[in-house]
Each structure stands twice: as C-alpha cells, then as structure tokens.
Amino acid sequence: MRLPVLGVFLYALLIIGLSSIPGHSFPDVKWLSHDKVIHLGEYMIFGFLVSAARVSYRPDVRRLYPSTLVLAGAFAALDEAYQFVIPGRLPSLRDWVADFVGVAIGGLIYMVWKYYRAQATAG
C-alpha cells in the first residue's frame, strides 16, 4: 500500500471515529457552534489527501479533480448517513455541502501545489 493511500485510510478512520461520538457527548465549547467551518476544514484535509492518493495511482491530472470530488464527496455523504444511527446525531444536507466544499478546496489546493512543485523542479 502506498503511503498517500494509507494517509487517506487513517484520516477516514479518524472522521468515522469523530462521527461515532454521540451528540450529547460533545463538550459545550463555543467554537464548536461553528460546525460548518469545522466540517469544511476537516474535509479540506481529506480532499487534499484523496488527491495525493489518486495521483499516486494514476498521474492523469485531467481526471484528478473530478475523481477527487466524486470519491471524497461520496465518502462525505456516507459519513453523514452513518450519523443517523448515532444517538443524538442526525445527517444534515448542510453539513454535507460544507464537507463537499472542503473537498473541492482541498483538491484544488493539491492541484495548485502539485503544479508549482512541478514548475520548481523543471526550472
């Protein structure tokens, strides 16, 4: 298994672990009230990792971004659906949208980083 893929699996386990926390177990912390920002940041990292893993198997950059959106977006949808069985948690379309926007930003950051890295090594 390639290291970027391992990173995706480990981070996905972290996301599922956090999604498994019952709703009443969350501490009453003010910054947690901005959960859409937390969702966006969490999935921005995931989008970056999925892009890196995807490139490690197929370096075709033209299909990188759409495949990242599909793979990570589907995982985000499954994560939201999974919360239906967790006490005190409910799936939310708004949470999924924040997740998806995070994936889109993370994938874009990876592509820009990869482009500038290639430019630096070429010149």
**pLDDT tens, residue by residue, 73-107:** 999 999 999 999 999 888 999 999 999 999 999 99
Residue 105 domain flag: yes
Per-residue pLDDT at 58: 74
The encoded tokens of residue 106 equal 């993370």
Q: How many domains does the chain divide into?
A: 1
**H-type alpha helices, 1-123:** 3-19, 35-57, 64-82, 93-122
DSSP letter at 28 equals: -
Per-residue pLDDT at 23: 79
Residue 24 domain flag: no
Range of the domain at 47: 3-17+35-122
Residue 43 domain flag: yes
Residue 29 domain flag: no
